[in-house]
Structure formats: C-alpha cells, structure tokens
Homo-oligomer: A and B are copies of this chain.
C-alpha cells in the first residue's frame, strides 16, 4: 500500500474511532465490503474489530494470504472471544455493528458469539463519514467522471436505426466495460436492484418500478422490473441514458437525454429547464446550503414552467432532485424537501432534475458536483443539450 493510501486509511479509521468514543461504545465490527474497503483499501470475508484507539484486529475467514500482526484467522465468529482473551482485550459491552446492511441472522449470531453485548448501529454514521470526501477521494471521482463523460460521447456512434432500448444498452454496456467499468455498481438499501444503469426509451420512462431510483421503467423480466423493456427507439421520442460511472471505486453519476430524429418542441423546452435548474443550483449553492433548499429551488422553477406533472416521473414521482455519490451510488445527503442536511465542503452530489413527457419520453440531465467553500465544481463535463441521434 503506498504512503498516500496508508495516510488515507489512517484518517478514515480515526474518524470511525471518534464516533466510537462519542457513542461511548467499546468496539465496532465492520464486515460489509464497502466499509471494509473504506477502512483498509481491501476486502475480505470476516470482521474488522475496531476499538477507540489502536490498530484494528482483522478476523479473517477468507481469502488465505492476508498478512500482518493484527490478522487472526478464524472459521466462525464464535472463535472471536478466545482470541480477544489471548490478547487481553475484554469483550465489548457496547458494540457497534452495520445493522442497516447485515442480515438479522448475521447480527444476532455475532451478538450471541460475543456474549450478548448491547448493540448500536454504525451504518448511518459510516455513511455520514464517507459522505465527506478527502482530496484523494475527490480526485478518484474526477478521474472517474472523465472516463464516464468520454463513454457518453460515444453514444451517438453506438446508436443504429431500428435498435431496441435493450440492444442500444448492450452496446453501451460493452463500451463501458472496455473503458474499465467494474460492472457491479454498489447501492445502499434493500430496494436498489439494477443492472449497470438505466436506459429509458419513450413511454417506458413512465413505468413505475418497485425500486428506489429516480425513474423506473418496466424492465424485461418480472424478477427485475426496472429499466429498458424492449422498446424500439422510434422517431419522435427520446431516450434517457443514466448508466453507472464505476470506473473507479469512487463513482460519478451522469444522465444525458437524446432525441430520436425530430421531437416536439416541449421536449427541448423541458430539457432546457433541467439545464437551467442545474445552472441555477450551481450559481446559488455552496458549503452551508441546506439540501432542502436545493430541492425547493428546483421545484419552484419546475412550477413556474408548468412542468410539475412531469417532474421526476408521471405515474410515480420521485420526491428528490439529487443525492450524494461515492463508493455507493446513493450516499448522503439526499436533496429532498424533508432533508435536514447541510452541504459540507468535500461532499459530492449528483443533481438530476428530470422530466417524463407522455408520448415522448424522458428529458433532462444529471451532473455530479463537488461541494466547495465558495460554490460547486462540476466534474461531469460533456455536452448537455438534447442531442439528436
């Protein structure tokens, strides 16, 4: 591990240890991939055992080959107490676990193995820590966004007449993968199933989905009812592309919309309102801005343009206009009316004021911005207008 990353993980660990101290907990166990990666720069099957100070212990089930004086190989969590005793570490009485992500069975097994400590939930705090990025992390996002934008620039060349949305998405997936996309992109929560992102053509953009993304789509399988559904890309409609920016562990989020041939004027108008909203947000937002205000600003511009019925969907309208981005695609803060969050320096947010126009399709853009002392830095630089395919 190079010195820069070593310094990074030390700082992240220190933030977690601050939380442990403030919560008056005795220890925290981290075992989900995203948080393990955040704390160590690698992941394993097992448990990172963190106390308020000192280096964490790693209880590793697999893979073989993890080395270090703090590494202890175990087969099952029930072995942890013995190893703690050998190191003169008492069993935690108050233990923080990732309760929002670990299964009920996993948590209760761990709790039992550790002789029933009182449980506290570290999930939200870890997400809050991760929401404020270091310069290293922001640079990862800038690099990711550059590749992401380059892939989007290839979209007009990928399009062929008579394609379905799925065929179009498949060629885009290939382009993404060749540009280094990991494929899997990580989201937080139990209703976030999706495959590599969303391509919505024509009226499929109206279809409501069970999942918690900005827009839905019918999908092509009853097991994955979201996204492209086989709609042919048809003259007079739009296609909205919101595919994952997972070219680095820290991600970017971009949406662009395209017109198939000639589309009605209202599509251009609504698309321009989306661009205007983004520009107005950039002009008025900086560290210290309440996230709810960003939503209200967008909502106000939508209303003035008589587009409220089409904002963030039609049949089902998402009640947010953006969200944090990082190791997961949906990090805090949420740009929503009920949010109590205040933007902080180093946060990264995706802003996505979108419209769904019946008979036409989705329009609007999404950019990713870094929150600075004096404004927002746009990191997703590629053509924003409604390009004609």
Contacts and interface: CB of A to CB of B under 8 A. Distances in A.
A178 interface: yes
Contacts of A33: 193, 223
Given A62-B316, A63-B210, A195-B183, A103 B105 contact: no
Nearest to A124: B105
Interface string A27-61: 00000111001000111111000000000000000
Which 3 A-B residue pairings sit nearest by Cβ, starting from the closest?
A63-B208, A183-B195, A104-B107
A319 to B, nearest CB: 11
9 contacts: A43-B223, A45-B191, A64-B315, A100-B103, A103-B103, A104-B121, A106-B190, A183-B195, A223-B327
Nearest to A250: B223
A101 B105 CA distance: 8
Given A32-B190, A46-B210, A97-B104, 5 more contacts: A43-B225, A166-B177, A174-B174, A183-B196, A186-B223
A306 interface: no
A134 interface: no
Main secondary structure of the interface of A (DSSP, over half): loop
A102 B104 contact: yes
A332 to B, nearest CB: 16
Contacts of A100: 103-105
Contacts of A249: 221-223
A208 B171 CA distance: 32
A190 B77 CA distance: 14
